[in-house]
Structure 1
């Protein structure tokens, strides 16, 4: 993979020209008191280096004569490593990660200026790490004060995200291999969950079965908090309590995916706890499945990203109108978003190193057209909460529909010929999931 990381750095440096890019590692997050969460590296930092330790900085200076790729890392410290784990250290980092130079992180203030002083701008994302923001601003302001005497130095700070994230959006063969593995593990976990589910079991038991599969198969664990939502809980989009006992006659909505070597899968399936849909559940499920299949059919190079959502919305609105849950002119319903009490989210998102991965969805008023190598989710749904309140002018919802929530989600790769559903191994046709 080191060749892959080097190629990514070269691509970014070619785009920033005479600038210098600076990236800070993710901070350690505290769970409670002095107990920390497992460390998860910042995705941009990891994408460029593969380096998986905190307290680190990467500098890319394509204009520098000797050091174009520089790392600042924690030095070896046997006493601290006894408590918090092994560190790569300064000497080994240079060899293992291919840096032109590696310094202890304590030397950042001293060494950083030499990589900034001849840059025309600093590429840095001012954001979450306020102390490090202050460090960058301090060095920039110091160089700006001496600019009149030298005539060189960074005259601006520019966010590298638009440049870097356009690279991250197109997945390489190596990235796709990791995403296929994450998808395959997640497929197995979902299939196990469906087999395991039965009335009387608890949502957390299903969650445990899935997350056991994630780790057993070599995954890092859940890509995001697993959603295991039975009955009316399925109408809560990000329900994560997973505490309820499942009952016969209900649906179970599972939204869960595995993280594998930092790359993620994201799958949702909805199926009957007792094995058979009720007539109302089956009718709504058929609408959502049709919306998803027709939306997936829109995934091919050159198609506007927004067409996926527009297609799903139209199918859902048509289906709800046939059932009398919406009424009026279909174009008006769509334009004024009168369907939102039933379907309140978009139909998907980019997927990769982040579950909601980086990349634009449109350029101002200009749509973003799909390109080969992009991976996205397609996830329409219908949610009829027990206390649903339709918009003004729409009918009241008959009680027989209330408390039903359905979502179906797959991970889809844009290919040169069209698309590939990476998570097709989890059944979703009614005849395949009923028992």
Structure 2
């Protein structure tokens, strides 16, 4: 009975994190007491899930910064990495499927929300383009992370609305010697003339091999999370 109770509790916590990340929790739960809503759990809004300094459970902002630094170290000189979030897939016109984040975007940024694009280079640092929202989006989806959250919570060096990407990103692409991205993404940056020219000039490469390499060696925090996950799963078979 004790093991079953622990498993049930772990399942409930995971479910609460996922639902909160996708904007289905009432806004009042975030904004009460001056807590800033960034569209996903924070140590202030969900102290039962995240400790101070963590962006996702068990992983701190320092670790995300370290991941980005290591990615730049393994990429060739003068490279530009473009990492897009997953798109929200729809079941019907108004009913979405449960959202699943792109693995590389989550690994590099810690953002669990759709619609963003992250850009990383030695010259520009870590830049995030965040989705534009309107009043209707807020009513139906709840709050989402914007440019302020990108800087304050996700620790971006620079942040812009996604609507400005077509003005800013082409210059970054043209200045780089190589553009690395997830070739399976469907993000709108692929429609930029600068990206198409880079592709024709054989400057566009797959980022996946480099992000996979980063995952070969696990951090202490990652090992701890893996052990906790294995412990929870093993209780099902006891």
TM-score, normalising length: structure 2: 0.68
When the two chains are superposed, the root-mean-square deviation of aligned CA atoms in Å is 2.2
Name the SS for the 1:171 alignment partner.
coil
In structure 1, the partner of 2:194 is: 139
Distance 1:57 1:82 in 2: 23
Q: Cα deviation per residue 1:112-168 (whole Å; 9 max; x = unaligned)?
A: 023222210101122241x636325x32344689xxxxxxxx751111111110111
Distance 2:95 2:181 in 1: 30
Larger-Rg structure? 1
Q: Cα deviation per residue 1:171-208 (whole Å; 9 max; x = unaligned)?
A: 111111111222222122333xxxxxxxxxxxxxxxxx
Name the SS for the 1:35 alignment partner.
coil
1:101 Cα deviation after fit = 0.6
> Are the aligned partners of 1:75 and 1:87 in contact in 2 as well (CA < 8 Å)?
no
In structure 2, the partner of 1:43 is: 103
- Establish whether residue 100 from structure 1 lines up as the match of residue 153 from structure 2: no
In structure 2, the partner of 1:86 is: 143
In structure 1, the partner of 2:37 is: none
Higher helix share: 2
In structure 1, the partner of 2:179 is: 122
Structure with greater contact order relative to length (CA < 8 Å, sep ≥ 6): 2
In structure 2, the partner of 1:4 is: 63
Q: Cα deviation per residue 1:13-62 (whole Å; 9 max; x = unaligned)?
A: 11222110101101112234531122121111100010111110000111
Distance 1:75 1:114 in 2: 21
- Establish whether residue 59 from structure 1 lines up as the match of residue 110 from structure 2: no
> Are the aligned partners of 2:129 and 2:162 in contact in 1 as well (CA < 8 Å)?
yes
Structure 1's unaligned 5+ residue stretches are: 146-153, 192-435
Distance 1:73 1:24 in 2: 11
Name the SS for the 1:140 alignment partner.
helix
1:83 Cα deviation after fit = 0.6
In structure 2, the partner of 1:14 is: 73
Name the SS for the 1:117 alignment partner.
helix
Alpha carbons of structure 1 residues 172 and 52: separation in structure 2 relative to 1, 3 Å: same
> Are the aligned partners of 1:73 and 1:103 in contact in 2 as well (CA < 8 Å)?
yes
Structure 2's unaligned 5+ residue stretches are: 1-59
Alpha carbons of structure 1 residues 166 and 113: separation in structure 2 relative to 1, 3 Å: same
Distance 2:110 2:89 in 1: 20
Alpha carbons of structure 1 residues 89 and 133: separation in structure 2 relative to 1, 3 Å: closer
Distance 2:94 2:199 in 1: 40
In structure 1, the partner of 2:91 is: 31
Q: Cα deviation per residue 1:347-375 (whole Å; 9 max; x = unaligned)?
A: xxxxxxxxxxxxxxxxxxxxxxxxxxxxx
TM-score, normalising length: structure 1: 0.38
> Are the aligned partners of 1:71 and 1:101 in contact in 2 as well (CA < 8 Å)?
yes
Instruction: Tell me how many residue pairs correspond in the alignment.
Output: 178
In structure 1, the partner of 2:20 is: none
Runs of 4+ in 1 over 6 A off after TM superposition: none
Q: Cα deviation per residue 1:273-321 (whole Å; 9 max; x = unaligned)?
A: xxxxxxxxxxxxxxxxxxxxxxxxxxxxxxxxxxxxxxxxxxxxxxxxx
